[in-house]
Structures are given as C-alpha cells and as structure tokens.
Chains A and B, each alone.
Chain A
Amino acid sequence: MNFEAIKSIYFFEMARTRRTLLQSVVSPVITTSLYFIVFGAAIGSRMQEVQGVSYGAFIAPGLIMLTLLNQCIGNGSFGIYFPKFTGTIYEILSAPVSMIEIVIGYVGAAATKGLIVGTIILLTASLFVDISIKHPLMMVLFFVLTAVSFSLFGFMIGIWAKDFEQLNLFPMLIVPPLVFLGGSFYSIHMLPPFWQTVSHFNPVLYLVSGFRWSFYEIADVSPVVSLVTVLCFLLVCLSITAWIFKTGYKLKN
C-alpha cells in the first residue's frame, strides 16, 4: 500500500477546500439556514406535528441529507474531473498507485468535506429547532456510509463526465427531485397510496428515513431496510469503480 500517495491525494484535495472555503462551506450553511428560517420558523410554526415531532425538527435530518448528498457528489466528481479536464491526471496514472489508493484519497477527501459541512448544518439546525438524537451510533453510521457512498458515486460521475454539463447533471437535475420527493419534507404516509408506492423506488427515501429514525425513532421504512439499501448502493458503486479501473474506462485511451 502506497500510504504516502493516499496522504498526498487526500491533503491535496483538502487544501482545495481551504482555498474555496466560501463556496464549499459558507454557501451550503447559508442555504440550509434559509430553509430553516422559511420551513422551520416561519411556516413550520403553523404546521401540525408529524408523528409527534415538530415540523421544523422533522425536516432537519432530510435537510442534512440534502446537503450531504450534494456536497459529496459535487466534491467527489469535481476532484477527479478537474485533473481530467486540465490534463494533470497524467501524473496520477503514471504514479505507482493502485485504484484502491486513488479512490481512498479522492473519495476520502470528498466524504470528509461532506461530513464537515453536514456537521456544521446539524449544528446550525440545532440553533433553529429542537433536535434530539436517540441513536447516536446509528446516526453516525448512516452519516458516514451515505457520505462515502455518494462521494464514490460522485467520483464515478467525474470519470464518466466529458464536459461540465454532464458533471452538473446529477447534482443539479437528478439529486434535488430525488431528495424532495424522498420524504425530506414530509412523511410518505401523507401521500396517496399510488405515490407511496412510487416513492419506494426512490433510493433517497431509504437514506432519509433511516437517518431520521436515528434522530426521532420515526421512519417511513424499517431502519434495517434503510441500512441494507445504503450498503447495497455502496457495493454497487465499489463494483463499478473497480470495473472502471480494470478497463481504464475514460481514463486510459
């Protein structure tokens, strides 16, 4: 194992975050605070409790997930896309590093950034609404697994994308509807039966539900199912990444 290489990639990526602090940390915090002001404080006070939890507190886990997903996909994809775009990828490809080391470096950094921002959002949320965490260990497990899987997912997008438009396709067009329709702002039990069934095909539902369960013990689907879904997603991403490196897909011509 080339630990020096993992360290180098990881800290190189983390240094990029420091350079773009405003964009990578401050802006998601401001966006999420706006959600809490609008949905939590302004509208939330006029809403009924959802399954015994105030509306503002109910949406907090979903909002953290929304940010975490966007951050991880964004950081994971950009981290590998940018060297591809500028050509500096030659150095990674010609270095004595294996796929595993490259992935640990890039995905590890992207997940770390996602977790940092996610934690800040959690702290911000606790300023606006009452938050309780009933299963802290499960909460951390969901938090970390989601961060890693979606950073890996982002990494794959970064390798697949051939231009900035494709790069932004997932974070801009695909993730928001999945998050909004995945029960971030409501319980799917509020939906008509047909839409409840449709929602079950949305992977984000399982993430948000499991994550929310670790906070308030309320869930749309069983937390075990949620956990299995996240693990399956991680496994699929790992397999695709392994295939990418084996075949050199879009990396080596």
Chain B
Amino acid sequence: MAPIVSIRNLTKSYASGFTALKGVDLDIEEGEILALLGPNGAGKTTMISIVCGIVTPSGGTVTVAGNDILTDFRKTRAIIGLVPQELTLDAFETVWNTVAFSRGLHGCKPDPALIERILKDLSLYDKKDTVLRHLSGGMRRRVLIAKALSYEPKVLFLDEPTAGVDVSLRKDMWQLVERLRAAGVTIILTTHYIEEAEEIADRIGVINHGEILLVEEKKALMAKLGRKQMTVELAEPITAIPDALAPYGLTLGEEGHRLVYEFDSSGERTGISSLLSALSQCGLRVRDISTEQSSLEDIFVELVGAGK
C-alpha cells in the first residue's frame, strides 16, 4: 500500500542562513502512529509546518494521499488536522464557535451533532459557551484538539500534545489517540516524553539537526538498541570488586551492597550464568537479583549524543 504521507528530500533554510531541515525522507503508512523524537530545534515543528502548509519548503516534495501539498493543497489540507504546540486560541471566542469555525474553514457544512460528540468526547461539552480566555491550559489543549477533529481529518499531526499537561489529561490523550487509531486515523506526534512514544507509537523516528537519524518499528528499535542491566544485591557489603570479577566490568554501588552488570540482551551470550558462578566462587552471597531493560530514553540519548 502506498504511504499516506511521503516526504522526499525535504529541505528548509531561512534567509538568516539557518538550515532547519537537511534533506528529510520519510514515509508514513496509513493508520499508523508515528512518534517523532528529537531535542528542541531538531526540525520537528518545521517539518510538520511544511506538510500542513504553514511554512514554504526550500526544496523537496511532500505528497499526502498521492497529492502534492503545493499544487493540490486543497485536497491535502482538507484531510490533514493539526494540533499546534503553542496554545494559540482566539481569546474572546466561545469554545463552540471556534470549533465550528474550524469545520467551516475546511469547507465542511455545519454539523452540530458531530461537534457536540467531539466536545463530549473531550469533556468540553459543559464548557461549550465559555469564552476561551477563561479556560485552563489543559482545557485549551483539548479545544485545539477539538478544532483539529472538527473536520474529521485522515492524518492528524499532534505537535507535543502533552507538553505541560497533567498526568490524568495525558492518559486521556493517549486514550483519545487509541480511539482515533481505531477509527483509521493516521497520527504523527512529536514529543519530548519518551514514555509517551513508548506507550502509544507503532514506529519511532528520531530527528536531530534537521536530519532523520532513524525510523523504526518501536519493538525492533527497543530490541536492537536495548541494553539490559542486572543488579545484584549482596548479603555482605564489600569494599572492592574482586580481581576474578574484573572481566565483567561491574560497578559497585550502595556502599558495597550492590553490583551492577550491563549486558547486551540481543547478544549470543549474555554472560549471566558465568558471572553468577564467578560470584559464588569469590564467596559472595547473593541476596537478590533484578534486571531492567534500558528505556527508549536511554536509546534516544545515545543516538542524539552520537550525532553531535
């Protein structure tokens, strides 16, 4: 199946000489959830802004459902929804009016029943007549989402949807993303919270300095780059690591009570059994063992760090 969004050699440089995007290639499949990770200034928002029509590209092409975003902008923009990062809302409008405005702007006939449903889904219905400037930050975020959903887009860009949002609202957002996915909406989200990408994305792209460093299935990425850590709790504290254990590269912590061993979970031999027997040969009594997988955050830091 052809990708729903196809980005080819996309570049953007500004008059100041700053290059925000350096030849980005990216295919987004219909119905998937793609998380774009990257530090501030990596080019995430620039890329989204170009696809949505807010920023003019310097070079390259973007097609959405087979239509070029510049020559067939009516077709592409009609099916793209955007929830911007900044809480930009008209201060003096009511919730209902601003959502209805978005629907009309995208060429759709008024549909009060649909807007009512969207507002109810986002727990905004009781605030429908409230003027936007009286809403809290979290509520405004919901209004921005309601606006983007008001014309039922097929592709939804969420630019840092949970930045500055409390935990319960974040969970609500994730549920909403799940519902949209079930309805067949393709979702591209940028985020700082790796936990978020880990929780909801199918694929993960890492972008830094205007380049896509990698795009991969989340599971494959975690397995490929994931390192595991085994922590051994000792019954008796030790002051130094015995020479016999030197090849394992252990670190000693917790005032001699804990030994930490790092291994590659995808490797042929993890070295766990030999380490355990070496421990008992050294006469060390083990009280507890735990292992943990490195998180996406560690993977991310490693990738972005390597790119510097």
Contacts and interface: CB of A to CB of B under 8 A. Distances in A.
A binds B: yes
Interface of A: 2-5, 7-9, 12, 15-16, 19, 82-83, 86-88, 90-98, 248, 252-253
19 contacts: A4-B109, A5-B107, A7-B104, A8-B103, A8-B104, A86-B89, A86-B90, A87-B84, A87-B88, A88-B90, A90-B88, A94-B77, A94-B82, A95-B105, A96-B77, A97-B107, A98-B74, A252-B54, A252-B56
A93 B105 contact: no
A95 B77 contact: yes
A90 B77 contact: no
Given A90-B54, A94-B53, A12 B101 contact: yes
Interface string B94-112: 0001001111111111000
- Interface size class on chain B is 20 to 34
Contacts of A4: 104-109
Contacts of B276: none
A86 B86 CA distance: 10
Contacts, number: 77
Smallest CB-CB A-B distances: 5 pairs: A8-B104, A87-B88, A96-B77, A94-B52, A96-B74
A8 B91 CA distance: 17
Contacts of B100: 8
Interface in B100-140: 100-109
Contacts of B56: 248, 252
Contacts of A88: 88-90
B147 A5 contact: no
B295 to A, nearest CB: 33
A96 B78 contact: yes
Interface string B183-197: 000000000000000
Nearest to A2: B107
Given A86-B91, A90-B82, 10 more contacts: A4-B104, A5-B105, A15-B97, A16-B92, A86-B88, A86-B89, A90-B52, A93-B54, A96-B73, A97-B107
B80 A94 contact: yes
A91 B105 contact: yes
Nearest to A87: B88
B157 to A, nearest CB: 9
